[in-house]
Structure 1
Amino acid sequence: MDQETTIRNLSLLLSPTPRGARLARLLATEQLRSWGVPLDPAGQIVAELAANAATHGRVPGRDFRLTLYVVGRTLRIEVTDTRGDRLPHLTRPAPDATTGRGLLVVAALADRWGVAPGPHPRKTVWAEVDAAM
């Protein structure tokens, strides 16, 4: 199989906590490194989406899922949580705000991103980057 037809994937369940969000970034970084995929900007995108899942998508006792796909030269990052009733949206925080910039970072770093609903009660926030390997 050549690089254009190879499909790589990883899917992990993680606790919706700051520790789970950090672990998502660490595990994603190691997996991407083993696949030969550039770590930037993917590592930062994973960190932002995982932090959002742990902060805004948290439901006690329900994990969030991190999924990475590499198809051809595209890396797709998906973070699924169980707060489908809380869809993310871009906001412009006040200049002195200490939070609220995660999706702005994702939008700036990703080639494409979006939100996919369901199945109930889930939602998936995804981002794609062209990963020249």
Structure 2
Amino acid sequence: MTYPETLGPLALVSSHATAMAYGELTADFNPIHCDPDFAAKSPFGRAICHGTMGLNLAIEAAERALAPAYAVRDVKIRFSRPAPVGETLTAGATLTDAATGTYALWVELPDGTRTTEGTLTAEPAP
């Protein structure tokens, strides 16, 4: 079997409503994500998306492209930049090593700024 060259892209338009819904899902109501007035006074100047929102978008992009033949085995990421609420997040991955099923994983803003970067390794599904 051959791994797909790319996973995604998959996009999500973030908003105050998505931040609040994600807060409900994760029980994370940190005001930097959910309170625009509080966040405006922060070093970011505005509310930022939950980092794991972008990560979950990337995992979803991978699972949609890989299933049912392959499964995600390992993910290693770092949050490199904040993603302001109100921006579109786009996630995907590019195959970097076909022998090991390793991909360069990313989440980016419309201007190409990467907010999350790392690697994802896939393996044949059981």
Identify the TM-score tier after normalising by the shorter chain.
Answer: 0.3 to 0.5
TM-score scaled to structure 1, two decimals?
Answer: 0.43
Higher Rg of the two aligned structures? 2
Normalised by the length of structure 2, the TM-score is: 0.44
